[in-house]
Amino acid sequence: MRAMSAMWRITVLVALVATTINPQAHAQSAGNTDAEITGLKKQIRLLEEKLDKIQKRTDARIAAIATAPRGVSLLWSRVTVA
Protein backbone atom coordinates (compact mmCIF):
# COMPACT_ATOMS: atom_id res chain seq x y z
CA MET A 1 0.00 0.00 0.00
CA ARG A 2 2.83 2.41 0.77
CA ALA A 3 4.52 1.73 -2.58
CA MET A 4 1.30 2.53 -4.41
CA SER A 5 0.86 5.62 -2.28
CA ALA A 6 4.36 6.81 -3.17
CA MET A 7 3.75 6.27 -6.88
CA TRP A 8 0.43 8.11 -6.62
CA ARG A 9 2.15 11.03 -4.90
CA ILE A 10 4.84 11.23 -7.57
CA THR A 11 2.23 11.08 -10.33
CA VAL A 12 0.18 13.84 -8.75
CA LEU A 13 3.25 16.02 -8.20
CA VAL A 14 4.40 15.65 -11.79
CA ALA A 15 0.91 16.44 -13.07
CA LEU A 16 0.52 19.50 -10.86
CA VAL A 17 3.95 20.87 -11.70
CA ALA A 18 3.36 20.26 -15.40
CA THR A 19 0.10 22.20 -15.30
CA THR A 20 1.67 25.17 -13.50
CA ILE A 21 4.60 25.67 -15.84
CA ASN A 22 4.25 28.85 -17.82
CA PRO A 23 4.29 28.16 -21.58
CA GLN A 24 6.29 31.37 -22.07
CA ALA A 25 9.10 30.13 -19.80
CA HIS A 26 11.31 29.40 -22.80
CA ALA A 27 11.33 33.07 -23.74
CA GLN A 28 12.65 34.17 -20.35
CA SER A 29 16.28 35.02 -19.77
CA ALA A 30 18.74 32.72 -17.97
CA GLY A 31 18.58 34.94 -14.86
CA ASN A 32 14.88 34.25 -14.54
CA THR A 33 15.48 30.51 -14.87
CA ASP A 34 17.03 30.31 -11.39
CA ALA A 35 14.12 32.22 -9.89
CA GLU A 36 11.67 30.00 -11.72
CA ILE A 37 13.40 26.85 -10.48
CA THR A 38 13.33 28.18 -6.92
CA GLY A 39 9.63 28.96 -7.28
CA LEU A 40 8.88 25.52 -8.67
CA LYS A 41 10.81 23.85 -5.85
CA LYS A 42 8.75 25.83 -3.36
CA GLN A 43 5.54 24.76 -5.11
CA ILE A 44 6.65 21.14 -5.01
CA ARG A 45 7.43 21.40 -1.28
CA LEU A 46 4.01 22.92 -0.58
CA LEU A 47 2.29 20.26 -2.68
CA GLU A 48 4.18 17.53 -0.83
CA GLU A 49 2.97 19.01 2.48
CA LYS A 50 -0.61 19.02 1.22
CA LEU A 51 -0.28 15.44 0.01
CA ASP A 52 1.12 14.41 3.40
CA LYS A 53 -1.95 15.90 5.11
CA ILE A 54 -4.26 14.13 2.68
CA GLN A 55 -2.41 10.85 3.23
CA LYS A 56 -2.73 11.22 7.02
CA ARG A 57 -6.48 11.82 6.69
CA THR A 58 -6.80 8.83 4.38
CA ASP A 59 -4.84 6.62 6.77
CA ALA A 60 -7.04 7.78 9.65
CA ARG A 61 -10.20 7.01 7.68
CA ILE A 62 -8.91 3.57 6.74
CA ALA A 63 -8.03 2.86 10.39
CA ALA A 64 -11.47 4.06 11.53
CA ILE A 65 -13.20 1.86 8.97
CA ALA A 66 -11.04 -1.13 9.90
CA THR A 67 -11.85 -0.79 13.60
CA ALA A 68 -15.55 0.10 13.24
CA PRO A 69 -18.09 -2.39 14.54
CA ARG A 70 -19.60 -4.64 11.93
CA GLY A 71 -22.46 -2.99 10.06
CA VAL A 72 -21.34 0.57 10.79
CA SER A 73 -20.43 2.51 7.69
CA LEU A 74 -17.79 5.19 8.16
CA LEU A 75 -17.05 5.64 4.49
CA TRP A 76 -18.45 9.16 4.34
CA SER A 77 -17.78 10.20 7.91
CA ARG A 78 -15.37 12.98 8.73
CA VAL A 79 -12.29 11.69 10.50
CA THR A 80 -9.70 14.29 11.40
CA VAL A 81 -6.10 13.96 12.48
CA ALA A 82 -4.70 16.46 14.95
Domain housing 35: 2-49
Angle at 17 between CA 6 and CA 36, to 5 degrees: 130
Structural domain contains residue 43? yes
pLDDT band at 74 (very low <50, low <70, confident <90, very high): low
pLDDT tens string 37-68: 999 999 999 999 999 999 999 998 888 888 87
Structural domain contains residue 64? no
Structural domain contains residue 14? yes
Structural domain contains residue 34? yes
d(CA 4, CA 19): 23
Structural domain contains residue 39? yes
Structural domain contains residue 56? no
- Structurally, the chain folds into a number of domains equal to 1
Report the largest interatomic distance among the alpha carbons of the chain, rounded to a whole angstrom: 62
The answer, yes or no, to whether residue 15 has pLDDT greater than 50, is yes
Structural domain contains residue 7? yes
Taking residues 61-76, report their average pLDDT. Answer: 73
Structural domain contains residue 77? no
Instruction: Give the mean pLDDT of the chain.
Output: 75
pLDDT band at 27 (very low <50, low <70, confident <90, very high): low
More confident residue, 72 or 46: 46
